[in-house]
Amino acid sequence: SASMARLAPEGLLCDLETGWGARVGEVLTRRPIPAGAALGDAFWVAARLGGAAEVFKLFAAAPAANLGPVAYGVLLQHADMQVQVSVLEHLAANCDCKATRAAVLNAAVLRSARSGLRSPARLLLHQMARRGLWTPMTQILCTRLCLERQIRPPLDGPR
């Protein structure tokens, strides 16, 4: 795409044999990483060309700003459960609406619990309680994880 062409240095060959996806990742890690559509394109290209490891390096160096829907989609599609939880936390931090932030964090809790990572799930639930992001779904997750005695939900939910 046009935004991808802007990221590639002049003379960069789109040759699959030379690991173009990996080189896109290397180029992006050497300069400030742009958030938004350009980053999503870079993630998509790198993942499609076998550079999923490069995508995760980019994510580790990504700005705190919203990365854009394509970037989040690629990350969630190619990541293991632990990285997916980090991606969801990053996404939640960029949600303007408290209810949306709570829904994304509920998904992170669910993914943590399903992968056997109970400690991160418990930590997320504690954070949600402290930040006023408790919803009926959060309560269901807390109950199913048998944590209702350890975590005190706030009296009111997200607004």
pLDDT tens for 48-73 read: 777 778 788 878 877 788 888 888 99
Instruction: Say which residue, 34 or 138, is predicted with more confidence.
Output: 138
Q: What is the pLDDT of residue 155?
A: 59
For helices 136-144 and 98-114, what crossing angle results, to 10°? 20
pLDDT tens for 18-44 read: 555 555 655 555 566 666 667 787 788
Buried b or exposed e, range 92-131, using 16+ CB within 10 angstroms: bebeeeeeebbbbbbbbbbbbbeeebeebbbebbeebbee
Q: Does the pLDDT value for residue 128 go beyond 80?
A: yes
Q: Quick check: pTM over 0.85? A: no
